[in-house]
Amino acid sequence: METQEKKIIFSGIQPTGTFTLGNYIGAIRNWGKLQDDYNCIYSIVDMHAITVKQDPAQLRKHTIEAYALIMACGVDPQKSIAFIQSHNKCHAEMNWVLSCSTQFGELSRMTQFKAKSQGKESVGAGLLTYPTLMAADILLYDTDVVPVGNDQKQHIELTRDLAIRVNHHYGKTFVVPDGRFMKEGARIMALDDPTSKMSKSAENIHSRISLLDEPSKIKKSIMKATTDSDGIVKFDAENKPGISNLLNIYSALSEKTVAELETMYEGKGYGDFKKDLVEVTIDALAPIKQRYQEIRESKELIEILNDGAQKADAIAQETMKRVRKNFGLGIE
């Protein structure tokens, strides 16, 4: 009986600040769980981060922190390939090749571009074209599956369209990837505005819980979290978005279902619920913080980082050989 070859997964995350509970519950925690069933390739996509102005020293700091944090959250460099995007020059080359097959209208219709450019007199070209770089990230590794949130559906559709278009015009060049879209419950919202996604760059620090937050900060943010006035611990995303968001967080960190939590807190108020959620959150993040400190202080971190870059480059170079040949680039 033949052993079925594992499918390839690619996923990336920007190093624009310390990862939040939203990043952890919605994406990074699952990266470790996927390693035994897939050939996983994970990237800290620092080139995407510069679509908006960054402080260079802070970006480098956040990039190495992000790399250490994904390992602290369960990514094992012995099982997966983990690397920093800018360490592999093939991403920029592939981006240009794909840009020449991408239509302006496709990019200008992107929902995220419309939202981020709205009301601005001018925006950088990178904000318009970064979905093509995202497609390059994915197609460079013959990716089969891309685990993403529902807000990235358009980008996955563009990636698939580009792969199919190139394959039609230039012959079989790319694997056409499938999106693996996360359940809506995995989407963690801001603590101060449960109608907006939790963001690591939001101005209000109490809108989020970062993975490296001190216990006192975690407590303050949760106790200040927006809820409603009826005090009933019940999930109702439409009418009670605040407590529903906190229930999602509690459920994700405790492995209890939302229904079990509703029963546990029947007849109790938000105060008791929030106090318990503080303890659950602190306990869940403590081992991540400890592991992160060990990794950051390790002399092997740079060696692991460089090894990941070399492994990623070896795969990417093979893909680019095929791309250059099919597009007629270079002299054989």
Q: Is residue 197 annotated as part of the catalytic site, yes or no?
A: yes
**Catalytic pick among 7, 79, 116, 217:** 116
Distances (CA, A) of 66 to 71, 95, 272: 9, 23, 34
Q: How far is CA 317 from the centre of its chain?
A: 24
Q: Is residue 7 annotated as part of the catalytic site, yes or no?
A: no
Helix (H) or strand (E) holding 95: helix 90-99
Least Cα distance to 211 among 120, 310, 296, 275 occurs for 296
> What is Dmax (Cα atoms) for the chain?
75
DSSP symbol at 89: T
**Catalytic pick among 200, 219, 240, 274:** 200
Contacts of 248 (CB under 8 A, 6+ apart): 25, 185, 188, 258
**Catalytic pick among 7, 33, 183, 197:** 197
Distances (CA, A) of 290 to 91, 209, 295, 331: 33, 17, 9, 52
Q: At residue 173, what is the residue type?
A: T
Strands 81-84 and 8-13: unpaired
Tokens of 3: 């052993």
278 within 8 A of 218, measured Cβ to Cβ: yes
Least Cα distance to 15 among 45, 54, 42 occurs for 45
Strand partners, 44: 13, 84
* Ordered alpha helix ranges (H), 171-257: 215-223, 241-254
Radius of gyration over every alpha carbon of the chain, rounded to an integer in angstroms? 21
Report the distance separating Cα 312 and Cα 94, nearest Å: 14
308 within 8 A of 77, measured Cβ to Cβ: yes
320 within 8 A of 91, measured Cβ to Cβ: no
Annotated catalytic sites, by residue?
Answer: 116, 197, 200
